[in-house]
């Protein structure tokens, strides 16, 4: 069932990087009936509050972009919170969406749902074929459960759901807090700050050898709009660029872009590297007709500009 311009669309998590990008795109595309709630207005982990919200607002389409997210350090230190909070949010929203008669729901997961020692590039059928990466296992288990809940509600109750598994995301409205952010935004902050103060050396966590795939969040938003309108299968589908880069290569690219000329030192004992490689097979996505448009270098330039602007305003 495709989207209608008049659909009442609930964007759960609209203040986060992913949700805000989706909201901006749908607004620019002329969807007038967009429904949002801040966390203070609606705690998605509160089942009674979520039930009341769906009964009152009667959304027709739900985009589940709300989640507790963070980088490798946050995931390692708080696995219980990442598992518990995400399970609560997902269970409440998915169940109440089905119960209230929502016509279509889009669930957003993560490429971390796949096994640590996965063959590369990662195909959708590799899910649950091996142990997960220990550093973000709590979050991954929650996202697997969310996808399976959508799949089972589709098969048992006929609920129309789609589940998108994006690669590493970055871009507009990213988190630059070094305690919680992901690798690309962390590197942008570190190199901009180092360049601004003329640092002769910068120390980075890990070995720099893991390979990762990066996609600008605005491309994911475009994929959500496309798939909601075109895709009807509940099985998981990978969303990404299909190409990867080592963290060391990414660091050099960001350093060159910001004009940092100092030495880069890798602290291999600080934090584990995580999965050695994580690059997804995006054949199903491409076959569906969707293709990302924002290249990594262009996306990095945009992210650096946003960080510099927010830094100048003290808005970090």
203 domain residue, yes or no: no
Look at residue 272 in the predicted model and tell me its pLDDT.
76
pLDDT tens across the length of the chain (316 residues): 689 999 999 999 999 999 999 999 999 999 999 999 999 999 999 999 999 999 999 999 999 999 998 878 888 999 999 999 999 999 999 999 999 999 999 999 999 999 999 999 999 999 999 999 999 999 999 999 999 999 999 999 999 999 999 999 999 999 999 988 889 999 999 999 999 999 999 999 889 999 999 999 999 999 999 999 999 999 999 999 999 999 999 999 999 999 999 999 999 876 777 888 999 999 999 999 999 999 999 999 999 999 999 999 998 7
Catalytic-labelled residue, pool 31, 114, 139, 147: 139
Backbone angles phi, psi at 282, to 5 degrees: -110, 30
207 domain residue, yes or no: no
- Sorted by sequence, the CB contacts under 8 Å of residue 149 that are 6+ apart come out as 90, 91, 94, 95
- Determine the distance from the C-alpha atom of residue 288 to the mean position of all C-alpha atoms in its chain, rounded to a whole number: 20
In angstroms, the CA 130 to CA 124 distance is 13
Distances (CA, A) of 147 to 106, 143, 210: 10, 6, 26
154 domain residue, yes or no: yes
How big is the chain, counted in residues? 316
Q: What is the pLDDT of residues 155-190, one digit of tens each?
A: 999 999 999 999 999 999 999 999 888 899 999 999
184 domain residue, yes or no: no
223 domain residue, yes or no: yes
84 domain residue, yes or no: yes
> Catalytic: 126?
no
Residue 132's nearest CA partner among 108, 148, 111 is 111
The domain containing residue 223 runs over which residues? 9-173+214-242+276-294
205 domain residue, yes or no: no
Most distant CA pair in the chain, distance: 61
Domain CATH for 74? 3.40.50.720
How many domains, in total, are found in the chain?
Answer: 1
In angstroms, the CA 194 to CA 200 distance is 8
pTM above 0.75, yes or no: yes
159 domain residue, yes or no: yes
Backbone angles phi, psi at 184, to 5 degrees: -65, -45
Cis peptide, bond prior to residue 207, ω within 30 of zero: no
């Amino acid at each position: 069932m495709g989207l209608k311009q008049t659909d009442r669309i609930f964007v759960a998590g609209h203040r986060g990087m992913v949700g805000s990008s989706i909201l901006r795109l749908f607004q620019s595309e002329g969807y007038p009936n967009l429904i949002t709630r801040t966390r203070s207005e609606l705690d998605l982990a509160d089942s009674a509050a979520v039930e009341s919200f769906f009964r009152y607002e009667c959304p027709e389409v739900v985009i589940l972009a709300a989640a507790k997210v963070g980088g490798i350090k946050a995931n390692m230190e708080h696995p219980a919170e990442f598992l518990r909070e995400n399970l609560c949010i997902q269970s409440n929203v998915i169940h109440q969406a089905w119960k209230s008669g929502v016509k279509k729901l889009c669930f957003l997961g993560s490429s971390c749902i796949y096994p640590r020692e996965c063959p590369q590039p990662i195909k959708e059928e590799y899910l649950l074929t091996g142990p997960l990466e220990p550093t973000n296992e709590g979050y991954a288990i929650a996202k697997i459960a969310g996808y399976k809940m959508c799949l089972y509600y589709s098969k048992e109750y006929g609920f129309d759901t789609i589940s998108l598994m994006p690669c590493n995301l970055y871009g507009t409205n990213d988190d630059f807090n070094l305690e919680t952010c992901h690798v690309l935004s962390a590197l942008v902050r570190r190199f901009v700050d180092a360049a601004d103060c003329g640092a002769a050396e910068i120390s980075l966590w890990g070995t720099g050898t893991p390979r990762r795939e990066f996609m600008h969040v605005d491309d994911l938003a475009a994929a959500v709009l496309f798939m909601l309108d075109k895709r009807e299968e509940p099985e998981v589908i990978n969303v990404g660029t299909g190409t990867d880069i080592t963290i060391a290569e990414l660091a050099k690219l960001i350093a060159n872009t910001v004009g940092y000329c100092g030495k880069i030192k890798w602290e291999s004992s600080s934090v584990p590297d995580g999965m050695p490689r994580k690059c997804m097979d995006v054949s199903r996505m491409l076959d569906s007709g969707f293709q990302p448009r924002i290249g990594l270098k262009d996306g990095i330039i945009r992210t650096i500009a946003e960080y510099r602007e927010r830094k100048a305003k003290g808005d970090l």
